[in-house]
Each structure stands twice: as structure tokens, then as C-alpha cells.
């Protein structure tokens, strides 16, 4: 038995020291209707959250637990808008849902709705989301209220009128 240091161990390096994670800045909120996609994206990005998100530390940034627990669109949309988050949704009936459009309009919310057959399942949602990623990210600099419909071939605004 050797009393000295092991030959295989090396002294600790400064970069190995535990550095506390800084607070993440959340910018994207994924609606409960696309939780599968939300789990994929939020496991890779610290600036996105979803209802039920327990929080995470990614790239040395800590994202806290998601504070949004409401299930009804007219309840959670204003809360997300008040935080300045861009909403990502898959509400295939948004064209026929005047209450949700009104909630977006009145709260000044910003929303991207993945739509059509291109958003039918988690894989297609991921493909569509990544195809439109650069355009979606640019919407962070646009004032609301708005809803954009994201499809394979386009990202176009939806009228907020009733």
C-alpha cells in the first residue's frame, strides 16, 4: 500500500472547480400541446420552458421551474406575454378559435403556431421548427401582438381579427 498520491490522479485544475450556474434568460414558451417537442428543445436550450418544466442547468445557465401552471389559453397567454416570452404552439384550430386570438391581441402576446400536416407528430414538429428556426428567432425582436403560422414552405402572419 502506498501512502503517497496515486500515479493516476492529478492535482485539481482551476477549470475543474465548481462554478455556480448563472441565471438563464427564458425567451421561448412551449405550449402544453407540443410537450414532446418542448422536451427535446428544452433539453438543449436554457432559454426555453414549458408547463411542468422542473428547471434545468444547461451550458452553465440555470433555468428555473416554469411558473405557468394554467391550462386554459385565455389564462396562460397573458401571463406568458407579460414575461415577454415568444409562444410556440401547435393549435391546429387557431384560425377558428376567436377567444385565443383575442387573448393574444389583448395581452400583446407573440405566438408561432406550427400548423398543417407538417406538425402532426414530434418528429415532424422538430423538423418544421428547425427549418423555420432562424425566422422564428428573429421574431423575438418584433413587438406583439401577433400570431405566425409556421409551415414547411412558409412562416406567415395570421389575422388577429375575430
pLDDT in tens, 9-57: 445 555 545 668 899 999 999 999 999 999 999 999 999 999 999 999 9
63 occurs within a structural domain: yes
Tell me which residue range forms the domain holding 94: 22-158
Q: Looking at the domain assignment, is residue 51 inside a domain?
A: yes
Sign of the CA dihedral running 51, 57, 58, 60: positive
Q: What is the mean pLDDT of the chain?
A: 89
> Does some domain include residue 9?
no
- Nearest to 31, CA basis, from 52, 62, 16, 57: 52
The pTM of the full predicted model, rounded to 2 decimals, is 0.86
Distance (Å, rounded) from C-alpha 107 to C-alpha 35?
23
Distance CA 107, CA 84 (A): 10
Domain count, the chain: 1
Amino acid at each position: 500500500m502506498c501512502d503517497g498520491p496515486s500515479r493516476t490522479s492529478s492535482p485539481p485544475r482551476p477549470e475543474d472547480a465548481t462554478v455556480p450556474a448563472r441565471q438563464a434568460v427564458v425567451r421561448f414558451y412551449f405550449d402544453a400541446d407540443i410537450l414532446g417537442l418542448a422536451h427535446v428543445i428544452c433539453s438543449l436550450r436554457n432559454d426555453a420552458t414549458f408547463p411542468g418544466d422542473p428547471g434545468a442547468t444547461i451550458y452553465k445557465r440555470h433555468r428555473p421551474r416554469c411558473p405557468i401552471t394554467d391550462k386554459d389559453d385565455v389564462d396562460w397567454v397573458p401571463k406568458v406575454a407579460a414575461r415577454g416570452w415568444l409562444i410556440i404552439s401547435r393549435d391546429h384550430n387557431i384560425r377558428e378559435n376567436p377567444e385565443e386570438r383575442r387573448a393574444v391581441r389583448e395581452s400583446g402576446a407573440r405566438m408561432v403556431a406550427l400548423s398543417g400536416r407538417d406538425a402532426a407528430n414530434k418528429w415532424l414538429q422538430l423538423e418544421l421548427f428547425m427549418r423555420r428556426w432562424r425566422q422564428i428567432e428573429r421574431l423575438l425582436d418584433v413587438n406583439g401582438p401577433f400570431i405566425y403560422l409556421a409551415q414547411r414552405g412558409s412562416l406567415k402572419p395570421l389575422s388577429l381579427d375575430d
